[in-house]
Amino acid sequence: MAKLTAEKLQAALAQQKITPVYLLTGEDTYRKQEIIQQIRKIIQPDEFNFYSSSADKADLGEMLAMANTAPVFASARLLVLTGIEKLRKEPKAALLRYISNPLPTTTLVLTHNDAKKMKTERALEQACSQNGCVTDFAELKQAELNIWVKNKIEVRGLKADFEAVDLLCQSVGAELSALENEIEKLSLYLQDRDNKTISKEDVLACIGFSKEENPFELANAILACNKKKAIQLVDKLLDDGEDPIAVLGKMTYPILKMARIKRMSEGGISAGDITRAAGLFPWEGRLVSAARNFPIQKQFLATMNKLITADAGFKSGSISDPKITLKGILLTLFR
């Protein structure tokens, strides 16, 4: 099988194709666990033919002895060893010797969770490629995360508009297990409804916000260069008891996003390249065309200085009037 993308590995497993060795690399442990569960479902090992342990707790000698032994009253055996980046030199050498000549009736699944260290594991990667499969599971970027969420929603027989997916990803973040839980909540929320399309309002309701409390309303106002609305929202958030440093965080992200887009746009980079480099969702392409209306770089630099000063001031407790400080940042940006 050699080196496969996550999609090609999924396709191979869907066809019940199993190889003696799997090396699952990258820092996305959630998707790697999904793959392990799929492999286990295909092999269906009983307790005599299944072994699972983290590398730092495993008896590697026992595990390799099992790997080299025919399965007990079964056609296949499954062994799972997670976090092999923690193995020391000698145990890793023993593991490498087995991988170079694996037993066909044994399926050995290895996970390596340190992307930086993996770059030095050429012998391990080569042996696994020659005798099995190597697949990298890097953390999903925004566009990939969007596709993952959309697929998970469709598996449950639901649909979602772009704004709903965007809001869900921004609210929950890139933690896939948390996103899976929220999608499950949305599925239950819509189960008695004829219209199975998830809306932005449905997402807000399920994650604990009312329709009037869109947590990204301030960010959206800043990205739209709507100074008046942004200032009003700062007032409202603080009056409603929001922590000033949390409001500062809501302001910092869109300002940094605008600055990146503006700099790349003025550098002559194409719209498609800007969308990818800035980590924008597909429907955020409008921000690239709107870059000409963004503040000039000099204003961004002055705003960045105020953001840093405000962050230090809030953390030290030296700021007496958060409204003046936060609105001052917006006035500097949009002067």
Q: Give yes or no: residues 186 and 295 share one domain.
A: no
Q: Which of 206, 229, 261 finishes a domain?
A: 206
pLDDT over 60 (residue 46): yes
In a domain, 325, yes or no: yes
Split at pLDDT 50, 70, 90, the class of 214 is low
Q: How far is CA 30 from CA 121, 151, 154, 176, 209, in A?
A: 22, 15, 19, 6, 27
215-249, pLDDT tens digit by residue? Answer: 678 888 898 899 999 999 999 889 888 889 888 98
Q: Give yes or no: residues 24 and 131 share one domain.
A: yes
- Name the residue among 216, 185, 219, 217 with its Cα closest to residue 202: 185
Q: How far is CA 15 from CA 30, 38, 313, in A?
A: 22, 11, 58
Q: Give yes or no: residues 122 and 198 share one domain.
A: no
pLDDT number for residue 45: 95
Q: Give yes or no: residues 296 and 193 share one domain.
A: no
pLDDT number for residue 241: 87
pLDDT number for residue 1: 55
Q: Give yes or no: residues 14 and 131 share one domain.
A: yes
Question: Domain residues for 40?
Answer: 2-136
Q: Count of domains in the chain? A: 3
Split at pLDDT 50, 70, 90, the class of 282 is low
In a domain, 246, yes or no: yes
Q: Which of 167, 186, 206 finishes a domain?
A: 206
Q: Give yes or no: residues 182 and 263 share one domain.
A: no
Q: Return the amino acid letter for 334.
A: F
pLDDT over 70 (residue 326): yes
* Contact criterion met (CB below 8 Å) for 179 and 149: yes
**Is the pLDDT higher at 207 or at 268?**
268
In a domain, 10, yes or no: yes
Q: Which of 136, 165, 182 finishes a domain?
A: 136
**Is the pLDDT higher at 111 or at 213?**
111
pLDDT over 60 (residue 272): yes
The two beta strands, 50-54 and 77-82, are parallel
In a domain, 212, yes or no: no
Split at pLDDT 50, 70, 90, the class of 211 is very low
Provide the residue count of the chain. 335
pLDDT number for residue 207: 74
Q: What CATH number did the domain enclosing 158 receive?
A: 1.10.8.60
Q: Give yes or no: residues 33 and 156 share one domain.
A: no
Q: CB within 8 A of 155, min separation 6: which ones?
A: none
Residue 223 CB neighbours (<10 A): 21
pLDDT over 60 (residue 210): no
In a domain, 211, yes or no: no
Tell me the pLDDT of the chain averaged across its residues.
88
Q: What CATH number did the domain enclosing 321 receive?
A: 1.20.272.10
Q: Give yes or no: residues 114 and 57 share one domain.
A: yes
88-147, pLDDT tens digit by residue? Answer: 999 999 999 999 999 999 999 999 988 888 988 999 999 999 999 999 998 888 788 888
Q: Give yes or no: residues 248 and 268 share one domain.
A: yes
Please state, in angstroms and rounded to a whole number, the distance separating the CA atoms of residues 66 and 87: 18
In a domain, 279, yes or no: yes
pLDDT number for residue 142: 76
pLDDT number for residue 209: 57
